[in-house]
Amino acid sequence: MYRILLTLAIVCGLAAVTPSTGQAQTLPLTAATGGADAESAAPPIPEEMTKEAIDAMVARMSDDEVRAFLLQQMDAVAAESGAAQAKPPLSDRLAILWSAVTSPSIGAVKKLPILFERQGEAFAAFAQKFGGGSGVLTLFGLIAFVLAVAYAVERVLRAAINHRFKLEGENDQDNQDSLWSAVKFLFRRFLREILGLIIFYVTIRLVGRPLLSPLQLSFAAPFVTSMIWMPRVAAAFSRFLLAPARADRRLVNVDDSTAGFLHRNVVGIFLLSGFTLFIVGFNARNGIGIGETRIGFWLDSAVYLYVIFIAWTARDGLRQMMLGTDPDVTEFDRKVSHYYPFFAMGVAVFTFLLVSTIVGLRMTNLLLGGAHYFTLAILLAAPVIDTAIRGVVRHVVPPMLGEGPVAEDAYRATKRGYIRIGRVLAFGIIIIMIANAWDADFRTLVHESSGIADNLFGFAMTAVVGYVVYEGVSLWINRRLAKEMTAAGMSQEDADAEMGGASGSRLSTVLPLMLLSARTAIIVVFGLLAIGNLGVDITPLLAGAGVIGLAIGFGAQKLVSDVVSGVFFLVDDAFRVGEYVEIAGTMGAVEKISIRSMQLRHHRGPVHTIPYGEIPQLTNYSRDWVIMKLKFTVPFDTDPNKVKKIFKKIGQEMMENELFKDDFLQPFKSQGVFDIDDVGMVMRGKFMAKPGKQFMIRKEIYNKVKSEFEAAGIDFARREVRVAIPGMEHAEDMSDDEKKQLAAAGAAAAASQQQEGGPSAPPKGPD
């Protein structure tokens, strides 16, 4: 058995091999039995691990030797694996990191005395390659000639294209205030510049390759790419974004001086960055290593200082640009615009520390492609991209539906939702671009389902998709809700009415619950998927959620009853938001509904919260139509037909009134004499109107009836007390004292009548 195990151990590579030399070791054996042969030398492991050699070695060993050898080799492998997996303490790792951050700066300072000397040696070696000063002048002359030819060809072909397609000034007739017009103009100009750069590049290759030798091309190609091509591409992008010479077409909110300053210095940064990359490669090609002069450190530091200088000098203009012209800016937008210059400075410092750490860890190959400059540019442009997103959303967001506070809130919410979705998508694109610049391919993470990187990537992608779905569903439901609520035409006068305003539609009642349910479902589903992508088993979570739900179901039967009752009330369409209802003597307009309860707003202000399970019956005063009957008491001597004609006239006028005609279902008309009491005749009129509109109509009818009665000489009946005093027929012959006595008697009679509970009025004395 031991021989078989030893053979397997050797075949699987468990034999001790010296890591540095790869030569076989001969290790002493300790016999497990501790006999006379306790220490004996094992035969050497054969250099060629063939089956015959292994069999021959095992055949020469005893069972005790095989067992001891096997145990010793396994212990050695375990010790080696433990040493490989052991991590240094945190203090040591921090010390290594600090050394990596600071060593490039210290090394650059130490190399400063020899920087110019060694750089001179690089120039000397360069000149020697081309046969001295004359060869260098010839090289630069040829490069200048090629560049001049390429630039001339570019200008000629661009002029021909502009003339052929009549592109120059074609947009000058467009609406200057149109965003689409400005974008078209700037984008077409940008395409023309890019087309010119392509012509420039192709001409350089066609003319330069036959004219320059391979040795000359080794210098000319990096020089043209870093010092000419990169700055010109940057200038094209800058002209598209800043439009320094076309304030009328500028996409960002910035003045002319700031736009010109930023444009010039953006080109300057790319020129300095390109020179840094070029000079590092130039030195390497001429015998000066990247660490011998540290000139790359000084030039790279100059780039970051340049960024800080630009951010500090143009800080006011940058804040203005970041704030934009959108009137619906939030406090978050104001803070971002205020701190953006400091953000740019922080990005420059962060990139400097990142580059220093990479150089200190001797991973300089990551920097040769300019990934750090690309990262710097993308991070600096991220807030500008956010401003662009807000500007685009302002022009592409759907128009506001309806009028009033509800519609305005929905419009602002829709705009903010579009902005958030744009920010999430832009963030994902920026992360992918930065990762690709550092040679981190996300597609590999997608195809290879292993490692913490894949788990984090899956988690992030699931969270992003879930968030976009969350915002999309919220936008759709909120927009439909705003449309349904504003379609009812509820005005402030309706809201101030005694019994509420017009009711909303059935959708306006159900959509808030749909929104809550959809948001909850999206959060739960995508949350579990995201947790699952981290490698966490979500089965126990689902089981626990089921147990908790079961416990809630048994322990909260009243809650379940409320929820179920609410579902059936909504299915029956018993009430809607805005309708005035009565529940067991409690009255109010339905202000809010939830899964468990509803809130009623009484017309005097109190809010009543009523669980669905406690609703024995519900009376709805705002469904479909409402009939309002109005009573008017007139004196006994009033002609009822005259009153009937007045009511009919008022009804016709109201039906022709633009403010009220659409609210009537049946016009106002007389119902004749309804009752006769001890005061007079009770005349009644009625009308049918849309729910919630009857109160404003009633006010207007009262005003018109009063005016028409006054015009027709009809008084409203009122309660009076008439006192008959004998001898009043000779009142004109009475003295003043007698009249005072009669007045006192009448007052006493009125007081007596009032004490008995009857109506009273001052007696009518003589004139």
Q: How far is CA 406 from the centre of its chain?
A: 21
pTM of the model: 0.58
Taking domain 545-612, whether its CATH number is 2.30.30.60 is answered by yes
The one-letter code for the residue type at 393 is V
Between 151 and 480, name the one with better pLDDT.
151
Taking domain 626-712, whether its CATH number is 3.30.70.100 is answered by yes
Q: Are 620 and 663 in contact (CB under 8 A)?
A: no
Q: Are 352 and 276 in contact (CB under 8 A)?
A: no
CA distance 173 to 181: 10
State the pLDDT at residue 31. Answer: 38
CA distance 752 to 729: 24
State the pLDDT at residue 300. Answer: 87
Q: In the chain, what percentage of residues exceed pLDDT 90?
A: 8
With a cut of 50, say whether residue 409 has pLDDT above it: yes
Predicted confidence (pLDDT) per residue in 31-58, tens digit: 333 343 434 445 565 555 566 666 676 6
Q: Are 684 and 629 in contact (CB under 8 A)?
A: yes
- For 620, the 3-state DSSP assignment is strand
What mean pLDDT is predicted for residues 482-487? 61
Bridge partners of residue 631, in order along the sequence: 684
Model confidence at 265, in pLDDT bands (50, 70, 90)?
very high
* Closest listed residue to residue 61, CA positions, set 137, 5, 21, 122: 5
With a cut of 60, say whether residue 560 has pLDDT above it: yes
**In whole numbers, what is the pLDDT of the chain averaged over residues?**
76
Predicted confidence (pLDDT) per residue in 57-111, tens digit: 666 776 666 667 677 767 676 666 555 555 567 777 778 888 888 888 888 888 8
Return the H-helix or E-strand segment holding 311.
Answer: helix 295-313
